[in-house]
Amino acid sequence: MNQYESVVIINPRVDEEGVKGLVQKFTDLINTDGKVEKVDELGKRRLAYEVQKNKEGYYLVFYFEANPNLISELERIYRITDEVIKFMTIKVEE
């Protein structure tokens, strides 16, 4: 299993309950073939440039270990989730 960090930017119009639901959804997905170590909710931040006509976004950072084949499925789910406006997953080298 490899260590990963995944940064997800959520649409700022999503309410607090919606964000908690998304955190739970992504955590459950990662836990199917890995283990979430920590989730940082960084809150609303100003974006460096407009993304999908949004100047702000709600930042989430997931720290987890997983098998490499889970990453493609995780990113597929990010892409089809309407509330996600941007994401990036990187492998953390020890």
Total domains in the fold of the chain: 1
In a domain, 94, yes or no: no
Q: Which domain holds residue 68?
A: 2-89
CATH label of the domain that carries residue 55: 3.30.70.60
Instruction: State the sign of the Cα–Cα–Cα–Cα dihedral 45, 49, 50, 52.
Output: negative
- Span 46-93, pLDDT tens digits: 999 998 899 999 999 999 999 888 899 999 999 998 999 999 999 998
| Confidence check: pLDDT of 1 > 90 | no
